[in-house]
Amino acid sequence: MTLPDPALVVLVGPSGSGKSVWAAEHYGPHEVVSSDRLRAVVGSGEHDLDASDDAFALLDQIVAARLRRGLTAVVDTLGLDPARRRGYLDLARNSGMPAVTVLFGTDPAECRRRNRARDKPVPATVLDGQVRRMRAVVTEIGAEGWDAVITAAQAQPEASHTPGARKAASEQRQRPVQMGLILQVSRFPWDEDPAGPAHWLATVARAAAEAGLQGIALMDHLIQIPQVGRAWEPIPEPWVTLGMLAGLEPGLRLGTLVTPVTFRAPGILAKTGATLDALNGGRTFCGIGAGWWEREHAGFGLPFPSARLRLDQLESAIETLRALWQPGTREYRGERVWLPETTCYPRPVSRIPIIVGGGGEKRTLAIAARLGDGCNLPSDLGALDRKLAVFRQHCLEAGRDPAQAEVTVLDVPVVGRDRQEAGSMVEKLRGTTTAAAFARRHHAGTADDHIGRYRLLADRGVRTVFVSLPGLADPEDVLRLAPVAAAFALGVGCLRRRPAPPPCGDGLRGTGASSAGRRSRRLPRSRAAWSSPSARRRRRTRLPWTFPWRGW
């Protein structure tokens, strides 16, 4: 059974039952509040019984303070006093924290053996009284109103921010599903690398490949956003940077998450994306959105129209990208866009997936459903469930099978090698945010915790997780993701292309029902052969990489 974390955890058992050993195995030393240790603080040692009153007064104060801050407090005392238990339970209720008891039903003979081995054993008659009292305590606790009463052999802490993650991780080990992980890089502390920016980027890219990640996505902003860092921290132009990365680790998928339509003319973005796809052998994706931060637009002299107009631009931009990324050069007339010609060479090596970022339920998700290959949503399960229902309804209204639209999420997790390291990372990164709130927001936990979380995402239809590591500093941070990536490793059989979204207007290269036929007749013979469906299929079969998203 799982223990909620954070929570009040009260250990109940006689001397020698193993409470302190169990607490040290499952929690950090700062989370365990021990009456014995506090006797050593306020008295002459752990066995100074004259210091018990002061020790328990201090214990109560510490427990109350931790619970007020939303932090786990493990009470390591005998736990046999009903008045003290009720006092701890009241503290938890007043703080809005879960409250559980962990029962230690150790064999009395083993308790006596351990007690005799101590430097200062508890008097035998006292221990016998504790053992007898324990039988009655089990009945008392059941009537006290605790959120859970668990035996020590069953208990394992599980982060409250993702209930069910431990069971889901077990399910992933037994019946694995495949899912792609992409490293989203949002901060660039390359000033700390003596070898400079290019070397820092190269080491991060190599670490991503070594960790088994499918690719790298770069945030597209002109000024570092406050959610990540300070305005004067470096935030490079992403498409230039991706061009460099294409030559460093040719096996990685590369793209942005996401590019605002207000930064670049759609045609320029089409040219940029096609060029990158040619350079990296058909591994480009394009995350695109309406933009949201007015400050960077003003600072760089860019217009920042209303949300309605920016969403209009998003629709036009996607249509322009589709038009310029198709074979041929003829005129394009669509619902929103007219292009007298579509000469854009080099062409992409393969179809570039367009991921629409943003969670606006009325229009943004409708655009993603009608025009995008997929959407990018928050990873929080509650928000994701709500957005997914809206997105899939938009797909149905657009005449599109929701299963044919890819769902991706952006996740910003704290990943520690163990529970204690995850807690230390939270403390290092939290700034002025409380530790409990930061841990909850970033789903702080171990790799196994995140495997469970991502399995819960996969069960909802998510096929790609963009992982942005808060506090990313060096390649070692990226390598923390290796166990997670390995758990969802993609195989060659994962590649399955899907139909494009419904065409815009009459489609590419002319108007009318016979436009496809006219296109073949008017193109030079070699170009018509190059752009035929059979030729495109042959080229796709020769691609040396595995697509991390179904159907893109």
Residue 64 has pLDDT above 90, yes or no: yes
pLDDT in the model for residue 157: 86
Same domain, 50 and 192: no
Q: How does pLDDT run across 338-377, given as a tens digit for each residue?
A: 999 999 999 999 999 999 999 999 999 999 999 999 999 9
pLDDT in the model for residue 490: 59
Strand, helix or coil at 526? helix
Residue 546 has pLDDT above 90, yes or no: no
Domain boundary among 134, 160, 186: 160
Residue 486 lies in a domain: yes
Q: Which long-range contacts (CB under 8 A, 24 or more apart) does 321-325 make?
A: 321/266, 321/269, 321/270, 321/273, 321/286, 321/288, 321/352, 321/354, 322/354, 322/500, 322/504, 322/508, 323/270, 323/508, 324/267, 324/270, 324/271, 324/274, 325/270, 325/273, 325/274, 325/351, 325/352
* CATH number where 435 lies: 3.20.20.30
Strand, helix or coil at 364? helix
pLDDT band per the 50, 70, 90 thresholds, residue 244: very high
In contact, 18 and 152? CB cutoff 8 Å: yes
Query: How many independent structural domains does the chain possess?
Result: 2
φ, ψ of residue 462 in degrees (nearest 5): -75, 135
**How far apart, in whole angstroms, are the C-alpha atoms of residue 185 and residue 238?**
10
Residue 8 lies in a domain: yes
Same domain, 223 and 149: no
Residue 461 lies in a domain: yes
Same domain, 122 and 46: yes
Domain boundary among 494, 517, 539: 494
Q: Mean per-residue pLDDT for 98-112?
A: 95
pLDDT band per the 50, 70, 90 thresholds, residue 532: very low
**How far apart, in whole angstroms, are the C-alpha atoms of residue 550 and residue 552?**
6
pLDDT in the model for residue 3: 87
The DSSP secondary-structure symbol of 353 reads P
Same domain, 293 and 403: yes
Domain boundary among 160, 193, 208: 160
pLDDT in the model for residue 173: 93
Same domain, 314 and 335: yes
Cis amide bond preceding 6, omega within 30: yes
Same domain, 156 and 266: no
In contact, 279 and 246? CB cutoff 8 Å: yes
Residue 472 lies in a domain: yes
Same domain, 115 and 204: no
Residues 6+ apart with CB under 8 A from 169: 448, 449, 451, 452, 455
pLDDT band per the 50, 70, 90 thresholds, residue 162: confident
Residue 509 lies in a domain: no
Same domain, 226 and 333: yes
pLDDT band per the 50, 70, 90 thresholds, residue 383: very high
pLDDT band per the 50, 70, 90 thresholds, residue 535: very low
**How far apart, in whole angstroms, are the C-alpha atoms of residue 540 and residue 542?**
5
Q: With b meaning 16 or more CB within 10 Å and e meaning fewer, what string describes 132-162?
A: eebeebeeebeeeebbbbbebeebebbbbbb
Q: In the chain, what is the straight-line distance between the N-terminal and C-terminal CA atoms, in Å? A: 40
Same domain, 277 and 387: yes
Residue 538 has pLDDT above 80, yes or no: no
Domain span at 398 = 169-494
* CATH number where 139 lies: 3.40.50.300
pLDDT in the model for residue 542: 32
pLDDT in the model for residue 506: 42
Cis amide bond preceding 346, omega within 30: yes
Residues 6+ apart with CB under 8 A from 382: none
Q: How does pLDDT run across 439-489, given as a tens digit for each residue?
A: 999 999 999 999 999 999 999 999 999 999 998 999 999 999 999 999 998
Residue 499 has pLDDT above 60, yes or no: no
**How far apart, in whole angstroms, are the C-alpha atoms of residue 469 and residue 462?**
19
pLDDT in the model for residue 108: 94
Alpha helix ranges (H) inside 249-363: 266-279, 294-299, 307-324
pLDDT in the model for residue 134: 93
Residue 550 lies in a domain: no
Same domain, 145 and 197: no
Percent of the chain surpassing pLDDT 90: 81
| Mean pLDDT value across the chain | 88
**How far apart, in whole angstroms, are the C-alpha atoms of residue 39 and residue 45?**
6
Show the tokens assigned to 128: 């016998």
Same domain, 304 and 430: yes
Residue 192 has pLDDT above 80, yes or no: yes
φ, ψ of residue 466 in degrees (nearest 5): -85, 120
**How far apart, in whole angstroms, are the C-alpha atoms of residue 155 and residue 503?**
55
The residue ranking higher by pLDDT, 490 or 264, is: 264
pLDDT in the model for residue 479: 97
Residue 504 lies in a domain: no
Same domain, 149 and 224: no
CA angle 399, 404, 408 (to 5 degrees): 120
Residue 527 lies in a domain: no
**How far apart, in whole angstroms, are the C-alpha atoms of residue 364 and residue 343?**
29
Residue 398 has pLDDT above 70, yes or no: yes
Residue 500 has pLDDT above 70, yes or no: no
Residue 422 has pLDDT above 60, yes or no: yes
In contact, 250 and 545? CB cutoff 8 Å: no
Percent of the chain surpassing pLDDT 70: 89
Residue 26 has pLDDT above 80, yes or no: yes
pLDDT in the model for residue 163: 87
pLDDT in the model for residue 156: 83
Residues 6+ apart with CB under 8 A from 294: 304
Residue 385 has pLDDT above 90, yes or no: yes
Q: Mean per-residue pLDDT for 516-528?
A: 37
Residue 539 has pLDDT above 50, yes or no: no
Residue 90: other Cβ atoms inside 10 A:
12
